[in-house]
Amino acid sequence: MIIAALYPVCVWFVVYRLRRTPLGVALPFFSAALVVVIAPLLQHFIGRSAVPLMPLVYAEAALLLSVGLWLALMPRPVPPGSRCEHCSYNLAGLDTNVQGARCPECGGDVTPPSLRKCETCGNTLAGVDLSQRGQRCGRCGTILPWTRAR
C-alpha cells in the first residue's frame, strides 16, 4: 500500500525536475499507463479481493497524469542577471559577455557592468551606476547612457 502512495510522489519529483522538456512531458503518460497495465495483473494475482480496489487504482492513474502534466508544463525559472535591463527580455542562452552586446528584442545595451566602457575615451565603467540619469565618465566627463533600473 505504501508503494501506491510513494510512486506518484517520486514521479512528480522527477517530472518537476524535468519540466518543460520532452521527457518531462512524456513521463506522466508513461507512469499512468504503467499503473493501468499493472492493475489487471494485480487483480489476477490477488483475486476477488482486489476488485473493490480497481476504481482507486484508475483514480490514482488519472491523478498521476493530471498533476504530472501540470508540473511538466510549469515554467522554468530564469537565471538571475539574464534579463534585459530595458525590456525584461529573457537573455538566457545568449552570449552577452562582450563589449557592445545588444538585446535582440529592443536593441538595448546588455553588456555586463564589468565590461562597460565609455564610448568616447574607453574608460571602464565598472563602478558607475547607470540606472541614475546624468552620470558622467570619470575621465572625460561624457554623459553616459541611462539604463532603466529593474
Last residue of a domain, one of 29, 54, 72: 72
| Mean pLDDT comparison of 23-27, 79-83, 126-130, 135-139, highest-scoring range | 23-27
What is the secondary structure of 3-70 as a DSSP string? HHHHHHHHHHHHHHHTTTSHHHHHHHHHHHHHHHHHHHHHHHHH-GGGGGGHHHHHHHHHHHHHHHHH
Task: Please list, in sequence order, all residues whose beta carbon lies within 8 angstroms of the beta carbon of residue 119, skipping any fewer than 6 positions away.
Answer: 142
Total number of domains in the chain: 2
State the pTM of this model: 0.58
| Domain coverage including residue 7 | 2-72
pLDDT band (50, 70, 90) for residue 114: low
Q: 58 and 100 share a domain? A: no
- What is the per-residue pLDDT across 55-100, written as a single tens digit (0 to 9) for each? 888 999 999 999 999 999 998 887 777 788 778 888 887 877 776 7
pLDDT reported for residue 30: 96
